[in-house]
């Protein structure tokens, strides 16, 4: 396909029209050039193919059945890039079979607050983890010749007023926390498309932000793919074109296409912007055509894979007296509505019409005979005494009770945020009442984000399954009965109270503005810096076996920031069953001129180990691992100094440490001016000497001081006072004809040159 030739033959009207949807899910056909519509479909953890046109009063239901894999909240907890790549490959096969050109996902927004209603679709509070899980996902899907759409670019961290709100974020926080995952994904996985979000960023809709889409995404990061709007996220189409948003979805029924044409004709918009957008739509079309092979896929095999993946994502939060795994003997009771009808996916555009669902009650016959009592109704909040009493009676007469609880779907869905972190009262009461009559209680949780667990000390085991996909019941049984060993780690902190959370004071904002006042201190970065206790820390998760860490070694004691540091260590399975451990690497910068997190995740590896087996684990660290985003140079910057490398089993269980000295190879240019404080100049020894020389020799020359006045030390109190004075103000305090704005500026220029090494 000769894209340039087609472009040159297309009319302006055709080009403008190609850059908006043909219907709700497809691009436009251009019969004159044999171009057919191609389909974009949700996503992310399964295909939500729908052929219907959107109905304004109903959620659009999927028309093709598909396999629902675990949602991102779960797959992030696997801390396993290879596992999610495997899932991506399966999704890619499914998309080929359904003629889907682009799967709308993954969602990689950072979990700024646990209340965001769409957190279940996002990976983590940590950008490095989100990036790497997303890279695995994208590589998997795209290896099958199907595109992905990384969403929602950017700072769509809440559902409240998502189409109007402006996320107001300072530059450092933006790059260190909210853009990092997008940057890493763009550079390492080359997604076919990126989806610009609904919200505004610092006042401008992201769909029409030249800063975000052109200056950062394309020019700074080198992105060459297509940018599509979130569904209905376009305001002023001509501004979107200039910002390089290529495709407006869904169909605008020609309305904004006409605006583009009119703006070009009136000379307000250069046609080259429309050409560029149309070119990228044609390139996407060509990618689809040259990769589309169709075919079919084995739905039962994908269901089996969904079970395997879910079992490697679950996080064992508590296991007192080794209650788990169960041996299947004695009287086992399953309690809770979610044992029969599991909660395994969230509401909204990611909602899959599943090929089949395996509940824990379906799967448990593979391991044991159990008695069942529902205890509550899935969507209810108020306790139902009849259901509770029945479950309590069953529990009283059982040896062990497994309660399947969590959040109803109505608590977590696209378009709304949670109001609190509580589970429904009926579930909390059920657990408390059962714990009163039976000492052996395990709780299996189905939820997309952290919850409060007032009964936490009264039960022996807690297994967090998250929203584990359509085979979650099977995976839960595999874990409960020890066929699989839990190996997930929390990709987000479970706080003790909602009011402890980083964004609490500015959670969803006021009106159409939300201030990201917590800055870079999101997730564990916040709890660590404030030295707060949490319920379960980031990176935490137990196993049925134990692991021992040893032999940390660094490839060098001192490096330049352009070098790569290799870190190695050994992990050994010291228990008596097979297990997987997610080894985590954090970097800490103990001394820095800007306030930095206590530690930040920069590497993780999942290692599978037989009992007694040990393996060496390697990490490679480049400049980014030691940098912070410097707003003077608008770039990443390493401040010279010692950095600690921390190897942990969780963010609060550091097992090994080592240090490296890193030298910066970037010099930040200094430019002193008369509005700097004296302390700025004094912090640089030669600058201090030059400035004092200038002032004192001028005063001496003018006969205002004598050489005698210059003998001895300057009073330290005076020096301290001087330190915070602006240079401009000193002129008001010193009587001198020779110290003027001009001569002081000349002196400061000389000092700046000296600081920059030019003299
Ligand atoms: C959601 C996107 C989704 C799109 C298409 C939007 O409302 O924010 O995540 O891909 O709809 O369903």
Pocket flag, ligand 1, residue 42 (CB < 6 Å): yes
pLDDT band at 713 (very low <50, low <70, confident <90, very high): confident
Q: With 60 as the cut, is the pLDDT of residue 745 above it?
A: yes
**What is the 398 CA–ligand 1 centroid distance (Å)?**
46
pLDDT band at 287 (very low <50, low <70, confident <90, very high): very high
Whether 612 and 584 share a structural domain: yes
588/598 Cα distance (integer angstroms): 6
Specify whether the CB–CB gap between 377 and 337 falls below 8 A. yes
pLDDT at 306: 98
598 domain-assigned: yes
Whether 111 and 152 share a structural domain: yes
pLDDT at 317: 98
Pocket flag, ligand 1, residue 349 (CB < 6 Å): yes
Structure tokens at 602: 């920069």
**DSSP string for 74-105:** HHHHTT-HHHHHHHHHHHHHHHHHTTEEEEE-
Whether 692 and 608 share a structural domain: no
**What is the 105 CA–ligand 1 centroid distance (Å)?**
9
Task: Quickly tell me which residue has 């400049």 as its tokens.
Answer: 623
Nearest-CA residue for atom 6 of ligand 1: 231
pLDDT at 715: 80
226 domain-assigned: yes
User: Chain centroid to CA 751: how far?
Assistant: 43
* For the chain, the helix, strand and coil percentages under 3-state DSSP, each to the nearest 5: 35, 20, 45
153 domain-assigned: yes
Q: With 80 as the cut, is the pLDDT of residue 323 above it?
A: yes
pLDDT band at 464 (very low <50, low <70, confident <90, very high): very high
The residue out of 458, 485, 512 marking a domain boundary is 485
511 domain-assigned: no
Nearest atom of ligand 1 to the alpha carbon of 60: 12
pLDDT band at 61 (very low <50, low <70, confident <90, very high): low
Pocket flag, ligand 1, residue 180 (CB < 6 Å): no
Mean pLDDT to the nearest integer, 130-156? 98
Whether 465 and 405 share a structural domain: yes
523 domain-assigned: no
Q: What does the chain come to in residues?
A: 759
pLDDT band at 63 (very low <50, low <70, confident <90, very high): confident
The residue out of 615, 639, 663 marking a domain boundary is 663
Number of domains comprising the chain = 4
Whether 598 and 638 share a structural domain: yes
Nearest-CA residue for atom 7 of ligand 1: 231
Nearest atom of ligand 1 to the alpha carbon of 152: 9
Query: What is the rounded average pLDDT for all residues in the chain?
Result: 96
Taking alpha carbons only, the member of 373, 381, 363, 533 closest to residue 465 is: 363
Nearest-CA residue for atom 12 of ligand 1: 349
In the sheet that holds 641-650, the strands lie side by side as 558-560, 653-663, 641-650, 579-588, 600-609
**What is the 700 CA–ligand 1 centroid distance (Å)?**
73
Whether 571 and 693 share a structural domain: no
Mean pLDDT to the nearest integer, 183-198? 98
Specify whether the CB–CB gap between 94 and 143 falls below 8 A. no
Pocket flag, ligand 1, residue 151 (CB < 6 Å): yes
Pocket mutation for ligand 1, best pick of 42, 54, 198, 229 (most atoms within 8 Å of C-beta): 42
Specify whether the CB–CB gap between 469 and 74 falls below 8 A. yes
Whether 118 and 259 share a structural domain: yes
pLDDT at 55: 53
Pocket flag, ligand 1, residue 154 (CB < 6 Å): no
Q: With 80 as the cut, is the pLDDT of residue 712 above it?
A: no
**What is the 413 CA–ligand 1 centroid distance (Å)?**
12
pLDDT at 58: 56
42 domain-assigned: yes
List the domain range (segments joined by +) for residue 241: 3-291
Pocket flag, ligand 1, residue 231 (CB < 6 Å): yes
Mean pLDDT to the nearest integer, 29-54? 89
57/55 Cα distance (integer angstroms): 6
253 domain-assigned: yes
Q: pLDDT per residue over 503-543, tens digit each?
A: 999 999 999 999 999 999 999 999 999 999 999 999 999 99
Share of the chain above pLDDT 70, in %: 98
Q: Is 733 helix (H, G, I), strand (E, B) or coil?
A: helix
Whether 228 and 90 share a structural domain: yes
Whether 684 and 659 share a structural domain: no
Mean pLDDT to the nearest integer, 80-102? 98
Pocket flag, ligand 1, residue 312 (CB < 6 Å): no
The residue out of 633, 663, 693 marking a domain boundary is 663
Whether 84 and 205 share a structural domain: yes
Whether 282 and 334 share a structural domain: no
pLDDT at 719: 76
Q: pLDDT per residue over 342-362, tens digit each?
A: 999 999 999 999 999 999 999
Burial (CB count <10 Å: 0-12, 13-18, 19+), residue 337: buried
pLDDT at 53: 54
pLDDT at 708: 79
Whether 124 and 253 share a structural domain: yes
Q: With 90 as the cut, is the pLDDT of residue 707 above it?
A: no
Identify the CATH number of the domain in which residue 477 sits.
3.40.50.1700
Identify the CATH number of the domain in which residue 244 sits.
3.20.20.300
Identify the CATH number of the domain in which residue 563 sits.
2.60.40.10
Nearest-CA residue for atom 8 of ligand 1: 230
Instruction: Show contacts of 495-499: CB within 8 Å, 24+ apart.
Output: 495/114, 495/450, 495/527, 495/534, 495/535, 496/532, 496/533, 496/534, 496/535, 497/452, 498/114, 498/115, 498/420, 498/421, 498/452
Pocket flag, ligand 1, residue 288 (CB < 6 Å): no
Nearest-CA residue for atom 9 of ligand 1: 349
Q: pLDDT per residue over 381-409, tens digit each?
A: 999 999 999 999 999 999 999 999 999 99
Catalytic residues: 230
510 domain-assigned: no
Share of the chain above pLDDT 90, in %: 92
pLDDT at 730: 83
Nearest-CA residue for atom 5 of ligand 1: 231
pLDDT band at 57 (very low <50, low <70, confident <90, very high): low
């Amino acid at each position: 396909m000769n894209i340039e030739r087609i472009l040159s033959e297309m009319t302006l009207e055709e080009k403008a029209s190609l850059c908006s949807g043909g219907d709700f899910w497809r691009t436009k056909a251009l019969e004159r050039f044999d171009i057919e519509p191609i389909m974009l479909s949700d996503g992310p953890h399964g295909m939500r193919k729908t052929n219907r046109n959107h109905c304004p009063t109903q959620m659009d239901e999927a028309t093709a059945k598909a396999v629902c894999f675990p949602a991102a909240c779960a797959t992030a907890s696997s801390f396993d890039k290879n596992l999610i790549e495997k899932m991506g490959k399966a999704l890619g096969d499914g998309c080929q079979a359904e003629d889907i050109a682009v799967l709308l996902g993954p969602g990689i927004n950072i979990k700024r607050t646990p209340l965001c209603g769409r957190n279940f679709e996002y990976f983590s509070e940590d950008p490095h983890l989100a990036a790497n899980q997303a890279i695995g996902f994208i590589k998997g899907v795209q290896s099958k010749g199907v595109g992905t759409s990384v969403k929602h670019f950017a700072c769509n961290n809440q559902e409240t007023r998502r189409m109007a709100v402006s996320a107001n974020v300072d530059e450092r926080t933006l790059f260190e926390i909210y853009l990092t995952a997008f940057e890493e994904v763009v550079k390492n996985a080359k997604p076919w498309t990126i989806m610009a979000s609904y919200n505004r960023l610092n006042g401008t809709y992201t769909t029409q932000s030249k800063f975000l889409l052109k200056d950062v995404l394309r020019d700074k990061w080198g992105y060459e793919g297509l940018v599509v709007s979130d569904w209905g996220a376009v305001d002023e189409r001509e501004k979107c074109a200039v910002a390089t948003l290529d495709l407006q979805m869904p169909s605008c029924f020609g309305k904004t296409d006409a605006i583009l044409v009119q703006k070009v004709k009136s000379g307000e918009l250069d046609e080259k912007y429309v050409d560029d957008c149309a070119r990228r739509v044609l390139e996407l079309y060509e990618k689809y055509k040259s990769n589309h092979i169709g075919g079919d896929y084995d739905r039962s095999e994908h269901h089996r894979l969904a079970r395997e993946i879910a079992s490697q994502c679950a996080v064992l939060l508590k296991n007192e007296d080794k209650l788990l795994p169960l041996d299947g003997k004695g009287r086992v009771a399953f309690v809770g509505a979610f044992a029969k009808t599991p909660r395994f996916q969230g509401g909204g555009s990611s909602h899959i019409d599943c090929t089949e669902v395996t509940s824990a009650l379906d799967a448990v016959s593979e391991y044991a005979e159990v008695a069942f009592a529902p205890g509550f109704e899935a969507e209810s909040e108020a306790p139902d005494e009849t259901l509770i009493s029945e479950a309590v009676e069953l529990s009283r007469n059982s040896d062990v009770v497994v309660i399947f609880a969590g959040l109803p779907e109505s608590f977590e869905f696209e378009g709304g945020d949670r109001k609190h972190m509580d589970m429904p009262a009926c579930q909390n009461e059920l657990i408390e009442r059962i714990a009163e009559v039976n000492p052996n209680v395990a709780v299996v949780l189905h939820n997309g984000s952290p919850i409060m667990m007032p009964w936490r000390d009264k039960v022996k085991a807690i297994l967090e399954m998250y929203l584990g996909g359509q085979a979650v019941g099977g995976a839960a049984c595999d874990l409960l009965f020890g066929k699989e060993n839990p190996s997930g780690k929390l990709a987000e902190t479970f706080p003790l109270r909602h009011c402890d959370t980083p964004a609490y004071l500015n959670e969803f904002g006021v009106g159409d503005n939300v201030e990201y006042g917590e800055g870079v201190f999101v997730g564990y970065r916040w709890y660590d810096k404030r030295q707060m206790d949490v319920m379960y820390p980031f990176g935490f998760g137990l196993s049925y076996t134990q692991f021992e860490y040893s032999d940390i070694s660094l490839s060098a004691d001192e490096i330049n920031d352009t070098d790569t540091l290799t870190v190695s260590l050994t992990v050994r399975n010291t228990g008596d069953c097979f297990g997987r451990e997610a080894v985590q690497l954090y970097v800490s910068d103990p001394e820095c001129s800007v306030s930095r997190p206590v530690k930040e995740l920069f590497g993780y590896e999942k290692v599978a180990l037989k009992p007694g087996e040990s393996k060496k684990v390697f990490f490679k660290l480049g400049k980014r691992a030691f940098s912070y985003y410097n707003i003077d140079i608008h770039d990443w910057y390493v401040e010279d100094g010692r950095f600690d490398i921390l190897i942990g089993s969780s963010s609060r269980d550091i097992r090994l440490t080592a240090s490296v000295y890193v030298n910066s190879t970037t010099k930040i240019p200094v430019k002193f001016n008369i509005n700097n404080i004296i302390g700025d100049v004094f912090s640089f020894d030669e600058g201090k000497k030059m400035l004092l020389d200038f002032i004192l020799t001028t005063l001496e020359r003018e006969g205002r001081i004598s050489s005698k006045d210059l003998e001895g030390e300057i009073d330290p109190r005076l020096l301290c006072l001087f330190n915070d004075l602006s240079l401009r103000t000193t002129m008001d305090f010193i009587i001198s004809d020779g110290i003027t704005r001009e001569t002081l500026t000349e002196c400061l220029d000389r000092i700046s040159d000296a600081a920059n090494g030019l003299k």
